[in-house]
Amino acid sequence: MSINLGTPPTKPMVLAPRRPTRKIKVGTTYIGGDAPIAVQSMTTTLTSNINATLQQIAELTAAGCDIVRVAVPSQDDADALPAIAAKSKIPVVADIHFQPRYVFAAIEAGCAKVRVNPGNIKAFDDKIADIARAATDHGTSIRIGVNAGSLDQRLRPMYEADPAGALVQSALNEAALFEEVGFFDFAISVKHHDPVIMVDAYRRLSQACDYPLHLGVTEAGPAFQGTIKSATAFGALLAEGIGDTIRVSLSAPPVEEVKVGIKILESLNLRPRQFEIVSCPSCGRAQVDVYKLANDVTEGLKEITAPIRVAVMGCVVNGPGEAREADLGVASGNGRGQIFVHGEVIATVPEDEIVQTLIAEANRIAAEITESGSPEVLVS
């Protein structure tokens, strides 16, 4: 019996079309609409320490961060914003709580976007018209950033019964204030530490409005737990086409947040895949120390960013098949490794030469890719 499996996709498949959203300008980039999903992070330096903050922004930029946020809890921090906004290579978002005057300072400083929190924004509510006017005059966008930990007290009773609903209600209340004065250049986030509540909130928010959505699992925890929580929640939403920018929150250096965010998008074909290791989990058939081999290859190739898939397989059962499908691979056995390049066996080397051979071949393939130009960039 023959089964019609349909036409294979001609470019990397995505699990769902992006939900149509408004496109807003964030400095030199965009969020929403057809703009690629942006990866964000936040500096951990004192913003008032301009050099340290710019240094960390440079590290984040090098890691692939698209947009960076800085905290502005004091006048000294507000005073540092003009220099930081001017010298940063990526758009800078000022994170403001409580103090309306810092919102105006951030807009005038040239920040690309200002994040305001409706939970502690009550002092802002009568200033929305002024904020909207200043933001429009300077081409600054806003993020309405609702966070479960600082939810508007008026919504606490609702939160007890329906936490996701209360987060969404808080965001929509604040959005309505901006809409009333004719301002629509904002993104929204409704963050919660529980991925299930967070996913529920973003799903409902995406039904209720077409503003671009900034995804985040707040206070997600240390690197291991935070990565899993973020990948689970973002994966569920992005697989439904929901989400226009992401921020992974980890109790870890912010560069790690960027790496995780990029890998989540790459895994869903929402960004072109870069360097990737396909390695087997090992089993009783393994004829080589797969963990060590995979770690050594990963370490040896950590500087490579070209879109190369390297397969590291422990035996000849699945090894040759996986190694053939990768750009580069090794299938190990009997103290040797068969090295594959684009499906062809190019060498069989002793086990202690596998890593150096793979590194040499990966560098050669990366150089070829660089010479022949960038691969197709997928814009979902």
Summarize as ranges the residues that interact with ligand SF4 (CB under 6 A). 280-283, 285-286, 313-315, 317-319
Q: Which amino acid is at 238?
A: L
CA angle 53, 59, 64 (to 5 degrees): 125
Secondary structure, 3-state, 257-284 = HHHHHHHHHHHCCCCCCCCEEEECCCCC
Closer by beta carbon to ligand SF4, 29 or else 287: 287
Nearest distance from C-beta of residue 345 to ligand SF4, angstroms: 16
- Between the alpha carbon of residue 96 and those of residues 71, 77, 198, the distances in Å are 7, 11, 22
In the complex, least distance from residue 310 CB atom to ligand SF4, rounded to whole angstroms = 14
**16 DSSP 8-state letter:** S
- Residue closer to ligand SF4 (CB basis): 50 or 278: 278
3-class SS of residue 240: coil
Nearer to ligand SF4, 233 or 290 (CB): 290
Q: Which is nearer to ligand SF4, 42 or 280 (CB)?
A: 280
Stated length of the chain: 380
Closer residue to ligand SF4 in complex, CB, 173/287: 287
Q: Is 315 annotated as a binding residue?
A: yes
**Helix extents (H) in 64-192:** 75-87, 100-109, 128-138, 156-161, 163-180
CB closer to ligand SF4, 316 vs 349:
316
d(CA 23, CA 241): 15
Neighbour count for residue 332 (Cβ, 10 Å)? 24
Nearer to ligand SF4 by C-beta: 109 or 315?
Answer: 315
Inter-helix orientation angle 100-109/75-87, to 10°? 20
Answer yes or no: is 322 a known binding residue. yes
Distance of closest approach, residue 253 Cβ to ligand SF4, in angstroms? 33
d(CA 265, CA 273): 9
Residue 342 CB, nearest approach to ligand SF4 (Å): 20
From first CA to last CA, the distance across the chain in angstroms is 36
Nearest to 194 by CA among 232, 160, 158: 232
Structure tokens at 114: 């200002």
Under DSSP, the state recorded for 103 is: H
Indicate the helix (H) or strand (E) that contains 198.
helix 195-208
In the complex, minimum distance from the CB of residue 335 to ligand SF4, in angstroms, rounded to a whole number: 15
Give Rg (Cα) of the chain.
Answer: 24
Judged by CB, which is closer to ligand SF4: 9, or 284?
Answer: 284
Nearer to ligand SF4, 261 or 314 (CB): 314
3-class state of residue 196 by DSSP: helix
β-pair type (24-26, 29-31): antiparallel
CA 14 to chain centre: 16
Residue found under tokens 């963050």: 191
Residue 280 labelled as part of a binding site: yes
Residue positions in the annotated binding site? 280, 283, 315, 322
Residue positions in the annotated binding site for [4Fe-4S] cluster? 280, 283, 315, 322
